[in-house]
Structure 1
């Protein structure tokens, strides 16, 4: 791996320290451990120890772990078909550009969970649709399918989805007011996958419906001081038909009956649940003692062959990676190809929307596009349409509205009341680990097999709660980084013995806490830093509301209680420190509401003040639920598409 200047300096300092501190004739383990303990917090040593662990436990293609010997020792099996092992293939064949001179009925920006659904449904409904995606059309073969250090779940030195490293940084404002530029692959960037399908290419695919009370948080709990907690303008009953349609159109496996938190459902899931493993039976028995109702998490994964695609092969590297057999269901392998087959959906990849264009009276007329041709020359053109739908993710959709200011809306489209970009949310995760005497951790994926929704609400003394579940199958290097006991050093013999002896004896329980939104958590434009296209980059600021942290602490105690009841020998875990949490499940920056004074769109995603500009991603979520939100994004997008089809008859 290449070293940046800081890493090189640390290593040089470390080599000099090694020669002065360590006695090569020393062979006593206690003395060696004492010498290492004396420097364990030095930057050069922590970096060196991290590299050593990556060499041992990451995939062999990264230059260590010959013949995957460490995986054999700890009991990890990747379970993938034979293929190349190594870094991401950065070069993907370009997708031909459609005819930009043609006038379209609708332009959709972003080909992810929201945009892919809206664009496909409009095209299937007979409309001529131009779908714009800034990333590539990736597959398992060309998306770094085996790299454990460059994937969306563990982006240590890069990722497998885009945006590209030269796309531009973002600026993150720390709690002390200092500003830091962060690269696209880093967690702080809040990176949504930039490719056809976006996160649906590499997600784990937990397909939860929100709890009915998730739609009425302010009515149930009141509005905490300093927060912007509100009710949704719609409820569970309004969205239920669209939840059902999303489950069947895209493909969800799971329980045959409704889940415990659902008041009703109009149809059963189209596929049976995935197999369960050791952790599920252990936690189920403990849940019975705690009088917790449990269920199996619904997944956008084929438990059986479905719609011409194979069933999941239960490999050991699911979330963060494209599926090797196309058994994980996203917009890139379901609705988008189906709609393109009609000839009505026209996809432009590696194309950036620079600006939403408006007429002299402020009416939206289309978008301005920029891209680089095969020779690297920059091209730009205006694409025209009767309707524009933004679905680029909560950060980029808000940024695009802000970039599209005109003489009528000087602060950005839909932003005359300063709501665009505010109320940025994600999910703060409470995670507990338990060490057991018996084997509890399965070699096979996807890995999330049991959950309770009893703590989504009704947790005494706090606002909201979280669904709690075991987690997806964990890569060994992620286990090293996150799941070792906190008092264990990351050097020396002890952690490696723990990995060999206990890798399959540790399981986890975690949950996405329903965050209390704050108007100070926001996306703005940086006045001085620009991306490769010359556009101001997004500036992210704010930290989660204190009530969110109180809820996260309460949920962590519930997770630990569950593991203790299951017989764990040792339990540990923590809540991340207060921070802006939009890196996971970002939402809220263009929230829907009943009035432009406190929202950006109406209940269908139409931007206030514009009859032909819509938003159809998690930006519109007033609150983000206590569950993974992707099924809600898809259901809302289906509802939006139906509204647009009825409006344009």
Structure 2
């Protein structure tokens, strides 16, 4: 095994957490090595810039052989509760998406590449509300975070300025704040049309706050509204980590990014301190990166997997797992959506993927039959181009199919709701004892079930989405998607939760391991709750900046 020069900090993962830490610690003078499992992507070569873009997915990275292997396995799917049968996912032309009596496991499409999942995310940039950090203190439910909105507010502001976030500060459902760095994007034609329904119901459909430029900034152009955020932004208007934090970190000269580096294990010395990692390079050659400190930022699935696979005589149950909490309290995404047709052309293929949001239910309401926050929005998602539009919505063959496309292309839009799943200890990420990946590393096993609270939340989402569609004057609902029978985990968290009590949590409020002082876990796995349905990326950025300040301070004091 070849060894490489010791660095001050080795960061595993280059996404929303790792990229920010690399920049912040590089700025402070630390020598940093960032190990990223996937390759570098050139934005100009993204699929949206190719003739047959609809046939290609967003950037995954990794060799073809790896994609053929199981990346994850799943526990026994839960039996569906027949009392909520009306929540089944279905399509007018395809029927039910799940015809069984058990919930379908998630189709996890893990992004590998320099920039992590920010390569394909839709650029939502949400501050969690104050409630999101203190649900137990305010409502007696779930657990409080060991920090509050006031602790993250200056870091939210710093990262919004750095990225050039666009948005409106006229949101009555969020804490008071100053102006965004850039003005909000104008609502798309589709959002304006659906807003009629929100208005009639007394709901507030507002411009979404987005890490997508509404005007040129920092050498990057404004958005051209191609609606292809999901596929990777070839314009660089979306502030994914590969065009924002990472290039500035590398330009410092003391930060090195190593693509195609798949970490197998975090190692420790005889004193129980981490001293580096073992990883495979692009040729599947095993190497060792020595480091004085390790920052794990691989996400809510991969971070616990790596910790649980890093067993030793000192840590027989996995690294940083004295509490037994690593992998527990996994939180998936609670989603409900209806696809509706309008008689008139609404040009649903133009604009931004998710340009509007309604935060009216972002904080729990006593009159609801469930606890937790829910947000609503409008999006084209898979209805962007004619090929996918036809495959998803157009009935029949021949003339019937063609007539539908001529009449209705650009007339359909999704009205959706996203809610937070309350943390449950028995929703877990564990290690499959039998299945290994392309590199011979045991894969993660995902076990997740819905609670009564989740089902009641979905019932509310279904009712409200349909009310909005009717109030907006939609001609017909042609499709419904639901977490009831299709597990959806685009926003994950909770598997290395932060807390004050080291017996009930994995890291402290600065993402520092309770067990190992020179190990930090900085990604959505440290989340205690999901913040009322808001997207997690901006909170990950803010937590990463705060943790980086702490690291710099503690190193100066000689405490790490």
Q: What's the TM-score, normalizing by structure 1?
A: 0.76
Matched, 1:617 2:530: no
Larger radius of gyration: 1
Give the superposed CA RMSD: 2.3
The CA distance in 2 between the partners of 1:580 and 1:621, in whole Å, is 23
Matched, 1:647 2:558: no
Structure 1 equivalent of residue 535 of structure 2: 628
Structure 2 equivalent of residue 44 of structure 1: none
Structure 1 equivalent of residue 167 of structure 2: 254
Match of 2:361 among 455, 467, 471: 455
Contact residue 544 and residue 580 of structure 1 kept, 8 A: no
Higher relative contact order (CA 8 A, sep 6+): 2
The CA distance in 1 between the partners of 2:257 and 2:126, in whole Å, is 29
Contact residue 553 and residue 575 of structure 1 kept, 8 A: no
**Matched ranges for 1:457-472 at <5 A:** 457=363, 458=365, 460-472=368-380
**Range with bigger deviation, 186-195 or 600-609:** 186-195
Matched, 1:264 2:182: no
What secondary structure is seen at the aligned counterpart in 2 of 1:395? helix
Structure 1 equivalent of residue 261 of structure 2: 351
Contact residue 451 and residue 468 of structure 1 kept, 8 A: yes
Once the two structures are superposed, residues 614-644 of structure 1 have per-residue CA deviations (whole angstroms, 9 ceiling, x without a partner) of: 1111111111221121111111111111111
Contact residue 143 and residue 161 of structure 1 kept, 8 A: no
Structure 2 CA distance for partners of 1:616 and 1:384, relative to 1, 3 Å: same
**Range with bigger deviation, 102-111 or 490-499:** 490-499
The CA distance in 2 between the partners of 1:599 and 1:497, in whole Å, is 58
User: For structure 1, which runs of at least 5 residues remain unmatched after alignment?
Assistant: 1-98, 153-159, 178-185, 224-228
The CA distance in 1 between the partners of 2:454 and 2:139, in whole Å, is 13
Structure 2 equivalent of residue 174 of structure 1: 76
Count, aligned residues: 520
The CA distance in 1 between the partners of 2:550 and 2:297, in whole Å, is 16
Contact residue 544 and residue 579 of structure 1 kept, 8 A: no
User: For structure 2, which runs of at least 5 residues remain unmatched after alignment?
Assistant: 80-103
What secondary structure is seen at the aligned counterpart in 2 of 1:461? coil
More strand by share: 2
Matched, 1:551 2:457: yes
Structure 2 CA distance for partners of 1:410 and 1:268, relative to 1, 3 Å: same
Matched, 1:115 2:18: yes
Could you tell me how far 1:503 is from its partner in structure 2? 2.4
Structure 2 equivalent of residue 51 of structure 1: none
What secondary structure is seen at the aligned counterpart in 2 of 1:384? strand
Matched, 1:291 2:198: no
Contact residue 432 and residue 572 of structure 1 kept, 8 A: yes
Once the two structures are superposed, residues 584-623 of structure 1 have per-residue CA deviations (whole angstroms, 9 ceiling, x without a partner) of: 1121111111112221111111111111101111111111
Once the two structures are superposed, residues 193-232 of structure 1 have per-residue CA deviations (whole angstroms, 9 ceiling, x without a partner) of: 1100011122210111112212223344444xxxxx3221
Match of 1:161 among 60, 67, 76: 60
**Matched ranges for 1:119-518 at <5 A:** 119-145=22-48, 146=50, 147-152=53-58, 160-167=59-66, 168-169=69-70, 170-175=72-77, 188-223=106-141, 229-255=142-168, 257-265=169-177, 267-319=178-230, 321-373=231-283, 378-457=284-363, 458=365, 460-472=368-380, 474-475=383-384, 476-480=386-390, 482=392, 484=393, 494-518=400-424
What secondary structure is seen at the aligned counterpart in 1 of 2:5? coil
The CA distance in 2 between the partners of 1:386 and 1:613, in whole Å, is 9
Structure 2 CA distance for partners of 1:579 and 1:364, relative to 1, 3 Å: farther
The CA distance in 2 between the partners of 1:613 and 1:334, in whole Å, is 25
Structure 2 CA distance for partners of 1:280 and 1:316, relative to 1, 3 Å: closer
**Matched ranges for 1:58-77 at <5 A:** none
Could you tell me how far 1:188 is from its partner in structure 2? 3.3
Structure 2 CA distance for partners of 1:472 and 1:573, relative to 1, 3 Å: closer
Contact residue 542 and residue 579 of structure 1 kept, 8 A: no
Contact residue 516 and residue 544 of structure 1 kept, 8 A: no
Once the two structures are superposed, residues 108-134 of structure 1 have per-residue CA deviations (whole angstroms, 9 ceiling, x without a partner) of: 100011111111110011111111101
Structure 2 CA distance for partners of 1:412 and 1:357, relative to 1, 3 Å: same
Matched, 1:569 2:472: no
Contact residue 493 and residue 527 of structure 2 kept, 8 A: yes
The CA distance in 2 between the partners of 1:165 and 1:387, in whole Å, is 33
**Matched ranges for 1:585-624 at <5 A:** 585-624=491-530
Contact residue 260 and residue 295 of structure 1 kept, 8 A: no
The CA distance in 2 between the partners of 1:543 and 1:312, in whole Å, is 39
Structure 2 CA distance for partners of 1:539 and 1:492, relative to 1, 3 Å: farther
The CA distance in 1 between the partners of 2:241 and 2:167, in whole Å, is 19
Structure 1 equivalent of residue 93 of structure 2: none
The CA distance in 2 between the partners of 1:630 and 1:601, in whole Å, is 19
Structure 1 equivalent of residue 490 of structure 2: 584
Once the two structures are superposed, residues 25-75 of structure 1 have per-residue CA deviations (whole angstroms, 9 ceiling, x without a partner) of: xxxxxxxxxxxxxxxxxxxxxxxxxxxxxxxxxxxxxxxxxxxxxxxxxxx
Contact residue 46 and residue 233 of structure 2 kept, 8 A: no
Contact residue 204 and residue 472 of structure 1 kept, 8 A: no
Structure 2 equivalent of residue 23 of structure 1: none
Structure 2 CA distance for partners of 1:191 and 1:571, relative to 1, 3 Å: closer
Contact residue 526 and residue 536 of structure 1 kept, 8 A: yes
Contact residue 196 and residue 332 of structure 1 kept, 8 A: yes
**Range with bigger deviation, 239-248 or 165-174:** 165-174
What secondary structure is seen at the aligned counterpart in 2 of 1:295? strand
